[in-house]
Amino acid sequence: MRLLRFQADTPFGPVARMGALDPSGRQVVDLATAYAALLRSQGVDPARSERVAAEIFAPNMRDFIALGTWGLDQARQALEFALGPAGAPVIYPLSGTRLLAPVLPQVLRDCLAFEEHTKNAYARLNLPVPPAWYELPVYYKGNPLMVVGPDTDIRWPAYSQVMDYELEIAIVIGPGGKDIPAAEAHRHIYGVTILNDFSARDIQAKEMAVGLGPAKGKDFAYALGPWLVTLDEIPDLYNLEMVARVNGEVWSRGNTGTIYWRFDRIVEHISAGELLAPGDVIGSGTVGNGCGLELGRFLKPGDVVELEVSGIGVLRNRVIR
């Protein structure tokens, strides 16, 4: 399924809702409303129907993910009902729907998993790749409160003069766990989405020269979206074409198959002695030549950045100052 969060207008103001994309890719189904209608059609009391549906299809997505395959079964039933004769009131055109970040993670981690990007980035600093990079899949933790969705303007931080994008995918954890072996990691991956790890390169360079960070170089915006594609709909996670466009011009191309540290090893490493929770987001890091730093060109105020990954969709954001 293609699961998403969207904004619905109510008499009390805008609220977040959980939805799914229909098979045509042109319509959004409000899953909670559809499921409540399904329960009513089965004779369940209306008030109870609303309450049960709201509990299952929590607007933060995390609680729904924690329900595992049972939750997905309920979502499929709701989607099927909505696409039937009685479902029209809970369907909205995608073109007129404001999408939000597909999940609000409690913890956001981002890796450095592509060798070509790593080599290119260190070459810009006239440094070799540290041998330790080949020993373990390193990562950092970002600020989950700064996660934004598609078509959200990215505010250029006042402390920076050099803005960059990063072309990445991210997995979302399903069943949580600790000390997960690589051979079992796929059971803990719920789905995949696109991540644009916007970067303030000048302050990032200063922070990391001290041996810590990135901190302010990253924590102003993490764009996720446009939706969360469940893993069963991704035939091969390591054969997805990746493209970045700035104002319609292609700047970057890549493929997930070039990743050095695959997600099974990443999940194994991160979960060692540490709990992963449903809805946690883990970014791949930038694909080779997937950012302006590697290309010697950077973003300007007003630029529109589009990241497209085959099998997932397009994540679009504008940078403003």
> Span 101-320: which CATH code?
3.90.850.10
Amino acid 220: pLDDT:
98
Tens digit of pLDDT for each residue in 59-87? 999 999 999 999 999 999 999 999 998 77
- For residue 12, report the phi and psi dihedrals to the nearest 5 degrees: -100, 10
Rounded-to-integer distance, Cα 3 and Cα 7, Å: 14
Amino acid 11: pLDDT:
84
Supply 243's token pair. Answer: 């493209």
Domain boundaries, the chain: 2-99, 101-320
For residue 101, give Cα distances in angstroms to 4, 59, 67, 76, 171.
8, 11, 20, 21, 14
Amino acid 54: pLDDT:
96
Q: What is the pLDDT along the chain (321 residues), one digit of tens a residue?
A: 999 999 998 888 899 999 999 999 999 999 999 999 999 999 999 999 999 999 999 999 999 999 999 999 999 999 999 999 877 788 999 999 999 999 999 999 999 999 999 999 999 888 899 999 999 999 999 999 999 999 999 999 999 999 999 999 999 999 999 999 999 999 999 999 999 999 999 999 999 889 888 999 999 999 999 999 999 999 999 999 999 999 999 999 999 999 999 999 999 999 999 999 999 999 999 999 999 999 999 999 999 999 999 999 999 999 999
Rounded-to-integer distance, Cα 88 and Cα 120, Å: 51
Q: Say which amino acid occupies 184.
A: E
Amino acid 51: pLDDT:
97
Q: Which residues contact 192 (CB under 8 A, 6 or more apart)?
A: 169, 170, 171, 172, 228, 229, 231, 234, 237, 312
Backbone dihedral region for residue 305 (phi beyond 0: left; psi -120 to 50: alpha; all else: beta): beta
Amino acid 109: pLDDT:
99
